[in-house]
Amino acid sequence: MLPPIQKRLDDFRQLSRVHAGSLIISVFGDAVVPRGGRIWLGSLIRLLEPLGLNERLVRTSVFRLSKDGWLRSEPSGRRTDYLLTPSGQQRFEEASRHIYASSTPPWDRRWRLIMAVGELSARERESLRQALFWQGFGTLGGDCFIHPSADLIAAFDALAAEGLGGLLHRLKPLLAADAALGAAATDGDLVHRAWNLDRLAGMYEDFVSCYQPILAQLRDEGGEVGDDSAFLLRVLLIHDYRRLLLRDPELPDVLLSPDWSGQRARLLCRELYRRLLPPSERHLDSQFVLADGHTPEASVALVERFRDVDPLLMQA
The Cα-based distances of 10 to 21, 181, 285 in angstroms read 20, 50, 24
In a domain, 213, yes or no: no
pLDDT at 114 over 90: yes
- Nearest 10 degrees: CA dihedral of 255, 258, 261, 266? 80
In a domain, 206, yes or no: no
Average pLDDT over residues 181-198: 79
pLDDT at 315 over 50: no
In this prediction, residue 283 has a pLDDT band, given cuts at 50, 70 and 90, of very high
Check if the beta carbon of residue 228 is closer than 8 Å to that of residue 283: yes
Whole-number pLDDT of residue 302: 78
In a domain, 182, yes or no: yes
Q: pLDDT (tens digit, 9 = 90+) per residue, 59-101?
A: 999 999 999 989 999 999 999 999 988 877 777 777 777 787 7
In this prediction, residue 223 has a pLDDT band, given cuts at 50, 70 and 90, of low
Quick one: which of 203, 181, 179 has its CA closest to 194? 181
Number of domains in the chain: 1
- Residue 117 belongs to domain spanning: 110-194
Q: What is the CATH number of the domain that holds 136?
A: 3.30.70
Average pLDDT over residues 210-233: 92
Average pLDDT over residues 230-254: 93
Q: pLDDT (tens digit, 9 = 90+) per residue, 115-163?
A: 999 888 999 999 999 999 988 999 988 889 999 999 999 899 989 988 8
In a domain, 130, yes or no: yes
Give the span between the Cα atoms of 172 and 118, in whole angstroms. 9
Whole-number pLDDT of residue 308: 54
In a domain, 9, yes or no: no
